[in-house]
């Protein structure tokens, strides 16, 4: 049993068109492919680290795909737009403590006057 089962028709199609490989040749190619994969993964990790180090971790803003207005929106509003949910109840957590809670009505932040703590209030204690 696998996480993503392979369709039977694909397996039959591949087995009809391919010849079986000898075990030693298959092991050789498995080693080559794993070395190639490790080199590509290491370079990708280095590229991501370089982008974060040079301040380009928000690549959409850096390359102009995100406007300044979109960059200033809270993350909850951006997710609500993406999920097409104009009305939502948002709760922010830092660790196991709730730091903020508010409502989104038509993509506008509405804060209740009773008991909503902010990140500043939590850091003061």
pLDDT of residue 120: 45
Q: Pick the residue with more confidence: 39 or 117?
A: 39
38-42-48 Cα angle (round to 5) = 145
- Where residue 116 falls among pLDDT bands split at 50, 70, 90? very low
The model carries a pTM of 0.49
Q: Pick the residue with more confidence: 46 or 68?
A: 46
Q: What is the mean pLDDT of residues 18-28?
A: 93
Helices and strands (DSSP H and E) totals, the chain = 6, 3
Domain map (residue ranges) of the chain: 8-54, 73-110
> Which regions of the chain does DSSP assign to beta strands (E)?
88-94, 97-105, 108-110
């Amino acid at each position: 049993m696998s996480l993503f089962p392979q369709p039977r028709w694909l397996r039959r199609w591949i087995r009809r068109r391919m010849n079986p490989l000898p075990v030693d040749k298959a092991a050789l190619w498995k080693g080559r492919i794993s070395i190639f994969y490790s080199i590509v993964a290491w370079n990708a990790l280095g590229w991501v680290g370089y982008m974060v180090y040079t301040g380009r971790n928000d690549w959409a803003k850096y390359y102009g795909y995100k406007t300044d207005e979109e960059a200033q929106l809270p993350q909850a509003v951006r997710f609500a737009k993406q999920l097409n949910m104009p009305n939502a109840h948002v709760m922010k957590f830092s660790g196991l403590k709730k730091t903020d809670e508010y409502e989104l009505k038509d993509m506008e932040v509405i804060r209740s006057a009773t008991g909503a703590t902010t990140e500043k209030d939590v850091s003061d204690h």
